[in-house]
Structure 1
Amino acid sequence: MIPDFIQMLLLRQNSQSVAVSERNRDWTYQEFVRDVQNAQAFFLQKRIEKILIALPQSYYAYVLEWAAYTAGITFCPVSITTPIDRLHYFISQFQPDLIFAEVTIRHETTQIAPQTFFKGLEKSGHLLSPKNLEIAYVIFTSGSTGTPKGVMVKRTGLDNFLRWSTTEYPVGENDVWGQYSNLSFDLSICDIFTALCKGACLVPVATPAEKLLPGNIIKNKKITFWHSVPSVVDVLSKAKQLKPETLSSLKTITFCGEKLFPSQLELLFEANPNLLIYNTYGPTEGTVFFTFIKLTKENYKDFANNTISIGNPIEGYRLHLQPYNEDNSLGEIIILSDYLAKGYLNNPENKAFGTIQNESKRYSAYFTGDYAEQINENLYFVCRKDAQIKVMGHRVDLSEIDHELRNFGCHASISTFYRNKIISFVVVDNFNEAQIMAYLTQKLPPYYIPNLVIAKEQFSYNNSSKIDLKQLIQSIEYLFET
């Protein structure tokens, strides 16, 4: 049975409305549905079960993901900036039947460029029944051992998420959705399927220039719905693009993937006071994300501590906080749901997955390794379990330091504990370390004060558009050489 939200797309097969607006071309819904159905028919006729998509954010990439989903086969999106050795590792783990890429990948698996593929496709006739494979997609995430792990997301999990997103998000045929995240980051899954289910126009924010100056594409394409990591607010701030004339078209923003700071919301509401903002949380293993909270200019301070609350679970999920401290306010987030990923590709142990007893029922569980804190009935992300630090016997929440650095006026900040030192990296105009230290001394306990504050012209970002902390640490290794 085809889910209702998929029918929403298929009903637009004759629509001349724009489905995808690239830099140099607009693609209609009629074209999109045609190409999805033709590719779907090809996959089923040729008995293709797994495809790897190594493409930029683009019309063809979106079509291929939709075609795989509707054919009931499994797709694996990877970033075009993935180093070749790592890409070969992904291929060896995933074992695709077909690879879609614009650049030749030296591998025995059949590979085809998307333009060539779609040009040679015949119009689909009688549609075969979808395969309905258990795994909808595989996304590789960074492993704690340094080896990437392929997260196997179930079709039932994606279906459940899309039932929520297509109902919850206020997006429709008159909206323009900014698709910022690389295909290898699962926020893109939400973008590609939710926007097109609802008849919105999807705009890929694909080039380095577009990502560094996102205000330009927001203004030029009149984007109304934006989805990204919170670091994009810092990028807009640094680029002096947090202005009413730049962000006036925006109606809704949804964030995920990083801590969201009150100062970031203040800047957004100053530029556009009518915004509706979602803050969400969840690892790839939970299927995109699984908690959310809705924020406006009027209510956001009710959910602000050092960071913004991550909210409550969406339908089909429960959240269990495994106590860490004596008053049970701090604990590890454990996700309870039937919609969790199946586990990791070619890793039968899957130690992070298990079951847990909760209120007389046993649930499938994923142990996130993330600590959260309950304050006034609101839940706040604190840090990774392996990033818990103590200084002079006191637990230190690094987000509290970043909160104050942003209040000081930094466009961006990220603090870490490295070689027994608290190190804060900042992007700020007219850097003056003495002034920053004096300010922090007034605001924070002595054991919170950074040992080093390092100014950067701008931060580097990884394939998920998150601040690349590893690269920042590498840039100061020379300070510790003896």
Structure 2
Amino acid sequence: MPALLHELIVTSAANSPDKVAIAEKGASITYRELVDRAGRVETVLASLGVSHGDRIGLLAHKNIECYTGLYGILMAGCAYVPLDRRAPGKRLGYIVDDCDIRILVCTAKGAKTLQKDPESFKSVEHVVLVDSDDKSLAAGRNVITAAEIDAAEPAVSDHCVDTDLAYILYTSGSTGAPKGVMISHAVSMSFVRWAAEETDLSPDDRVSGHAPLYFDLSVFDVFSTHKMGATLYPVPDGASTFPSRLTDWMINNEISVWYSVPSILSMMAKQPTFEEREFPHLRVLLFAGEVFPAKYLKVWVAHCPDTIFKNWYGPTETNVITSYTVDIPADQINKPVPIGKATRNAALFRIDKDGNRVTDNDVSGELLARGPCVAIGYWGDEEKTRSRFFDNKEQPWLRDRVYRTGDLVTIDGNGDIIFQGRADHQIKSRGYRIELGEIEAALYRDQSIQEAAVIPVPDDVIGNRLWAFVASPEFSDDVPNTVIDNVKRFVPPYMVPDHFVAMEVLPKTSNGKIDRQKLLGKAESES
């Protein structure tokens, strides 16, 4: 049984070498070809002097060559660090510096980000272009082209063990800087195996690849698919912007297993022509990352009565740790469905604000997780790691790690976990987990801002819309574009507030803190 992520494609290639591993418009690659190509990327990385455990940046859009680069990094005994090519240069620069990234594996589209903001990648010495021979895309650095990868001899995978670091996913951080979640092969594989079994994946399945690689939903798309020898269909760039186009893509490619955040599915369900569309091949529809509005879930369940619907829940630090199969008739779906019961690789319990166990099902408590699902911690930040990860005091003789999710939950009469909200200022919007403090920190970088607060307003399509309230002596009516543009320099597009409101002074509570409830009321009244 494969113990490492890259061994999944090696095993599938041995079982079905000519089976298509990845398919996109006008192109495909078999498992045999994927292993061969990834082995050539590994050879190139070895020639650049990589060491075991090095962090390699992956700056790419999702095409076939991107995945050969990903697997090549793993084969070389390194960890991949996926970078959002649309993120601000400041954020990308922070991640590159934080991880000490010397080598980037890029597609041509990814390299354009490098061209646009070379200063953010100043520590990068080598660029491996997996789909282009144009060295000018990374001028000033040592560039390995696609032709040079073709000419390399495929290598045998570097010796790894499952406790080695596989990838680092950066999520929003409360102090203004993103935090890198370290995931080992063992942690990832504990989810990958469970997920493949939970969805009954087979080589006949066609699995969508909707999530970007820097989002933890992509772990199922890539690795669970390839574990079972199924075919991955990466969603084309820009398709999600147009729900009708995404629906067409899903139907035309006969997708049998779909996984995405609910906001995408809600937008699809809102199309005037949705009920005219048919999804005869859709076997399983998975959703995670935020609450699925009942009115849109109801539309999907009614429209696809033969499809299995599953609600998955879990933060990046554990991946999915609960699952709920929707077994409610469509006409009875009148509220958000539960997040379900613990997965096989997770043990869950609840604590109150004093750290005591909560045993009453009806009492809300913070959800904690232990088991092989728990990440290593945050890259280069022991203090932050200690604040969220700790040893299990109930079993001190074991090296048993526990993670605090920050989510408040209760348990219903069926034993299913019900999500009640956050215990901190972290929220979900468009499926992304967002620390409001990071956006506020970006606002405060503008010296003219004296006070700032970012307020989430519930939205039945995307989860939350963000309102930024600011006070400054330099403006009192409209927030100038300079302030908005400055925020865009430090946070990715999904974290830029939807509305900016200028005030002379922000309202305060009796203890002098910003009155966020009053600001929420103002935002809701103006929505």
Q: What CA deviation, in whole Å up to 9, does each residue of 1:410-430 have, x standing for no partner? A: xxxxxxxx98999554679xx
2:224 match: 194
How far is 1:20 from its partner?
1.6
Task: Identify the residue that residue 292 of structure 1 maps to in structure 2.
Answer: 323
The separation in 2 between residues aligned to 1:137 and 1:58, in whole angstroms, is 19
Q: Which moved more, 1:159-168 or 1:48-57?
A: 159-168
Take 1:69 and 1:421, find their aligned partners in 2: how far apart are those partners? Answer: 40
The 2-side partners of 1:131 and 1:322 are apart by 37
Pairwise CA distance, 1:162 = 1.7
**Kindly tell me: are residues 467 and 313 of structure 1, through their superposed partners in 2, closer, same or farther at Cα, counting changes over 3 Å?**
farther
Residue 12, structure 1, aligned to residue 13, structure 2: yes
Is the 1:154–1:339 contact (alpha carbons within 8 Å) kept by the matching residues of 2?
no
Write the distance in 2 (CA, Å) between the matches of 1:215 and 1:277: 17
1:281-307 superposed Cα distances (whole Å, 9 cap, x missing partner) = 111111x22211222455996xx6732
Q: Which residue of 1 aligns with 2:199?
A: 169
- The offset of 1:242, in angstroms, is 3.3
Aligned to 1:135: 165
Report what 2:401 is aligned to: 364
**Is 1:477 aligned to 2:501, yes or no?**
yes
1:401-454: CA deviation from partner (whole Å, max 9, x where unpaired): xxxxxxxxxxxxxxxxx98999554679xxxxxxxxxxxxxxxxxxxxxxxxxx
Structure 1 position 318 matched with structure 2 position 347: yes
- 1:89 matches 2:89: no
Mapped partners of 1:425, 1:480: distance in 2: 27
Between 1:103-112 and 1:264-273, the stretch displaced more is 103-112
For the 8 Å contact 1:329–1:375, the answer to whether it is kept is no
Give the equivalent residue in structure 2 for 1:405: none
**In the aligned structure 2, how far is the partner of 1:81 from the partner of 1:179?**
18
Q: Which amino acid aligns with 1:207?
A: D
Question: Which of residues 114, 127, 140 in structure 1 aligns to 2:130?
Answer: 114
- Is the CA contact 1:321–1:332 (under 8 Å) kept in the aligned structure 2? yes
* CA 2–272 in structure 1, closer or farther in 2 if over 3 Å, else same: closer
Task: Go from structure 1 to structure 2 and tell me whether the alpha carbon gap of 1:467 and 1:320 turns closer, same or farther (over 3 Å shift).
Answer: farther
Aligned residue identity for 2:31: Y
Once the two structures are overlaid, the 10-residue window that deviates more, 243-252 or 346-355, is 243-252
Whichever residue aligns with residue 12 of structure 1, its letter is A
Cross-structure match for 1:458:
none
Q: Letter of the aligned partner of 1:295 in structure 2? A: V
Residue of structure 1 in register with 2:485 after alignment: none
Residues 327-367 of structure 1 deviation map (CA, whole Å, 9 limit, x = unaligned): 56201011112441111111111211112334897631111
Q: Which secondary structure state, in structure 2, belongs to the residue aligned with residue 120 of structure 1?
A: helix
CA RMSD of aligned residues (A): 3.4
Which residue is equivalent to 1:216?
248
Please name the residue that 2:380 is paired with: 346
2:493 and 2:297 map into 1 onto residues whose CA distance is 18
Greater CA deviation, 17-26 or 277-286? 17-26
Identify the residue that residue 382 of structure 1 maps to in structure 2: 420
> Does the 8 A contact of 1:255 with 1:279 survive in 2?
yes
Check 1:278–1:72 CA distance in 2 against 1; reply closer, same or farther (3 A cut): farther
Distance 1:223 1:65 in 2: 23
Q: SS in structure 2 opposite 1:247?
A: coil
Sequence identity of aligned pairs in percent? 22
Give how far 1:218 is off.
0.5
Shift of the alpha carbon at 1:266?
Answer: 1.4
Question: Would you say the 8 A contact 1:242–1:267 is kept in 2?
Answer: no
Structure-1 separation of matches of 2:299 and 2:263: 13
**Counterpart in 2 of 1:330?**
364
Query: Normalization by structure 2: what TM-score?
Result: 0.70
Partner SS, residue 38 of structure 1: helix
For the pair 1:227 / 2:285, whether they are aligned, the reply is no
Aligned length, in residue pairs: 413
208-217 or 359-368, larger mean C-alpha shift: 359-368
Give secondary structure in 2 for the equivalent of 1:137: strand
Question: CA separation of 1:126/1:306 partners in 2, compared to 1, >3 Å: closer, same or farther?
Answer: closer
Aligned equivalents of 2:295, 2:352: Cα separation in 1: 29
Deviation at 1:158, TM superposition (A): 1.1
Cα distance in structure 2, aligned partners of 1:111 and 1:388: 35
In the alignment, the residues of structure 2 paired with residue 427 and residue 380 of structure 1 have an alpha-carbon distance, to the nearest angstrom, of 20
2:94 equivalent to 1:65: no
- TM superposition shift of 1:15: 3.2
Unaligned runs of 5+ in 2: 134-144, 428-451, 463-487, 507-527
Q: Which deviates the most, 357-366 or 268-277?
A: 357-366
Residues 70 and 419 of structure 1: CA distance in aligned 2, closer, same or farther (over 3 Å): closer
Equivalent-residue separation in structure 2 for 1:95 and 1:43 (angstroms): 16
1:9 is displaced (CA, Å) by: 4.3
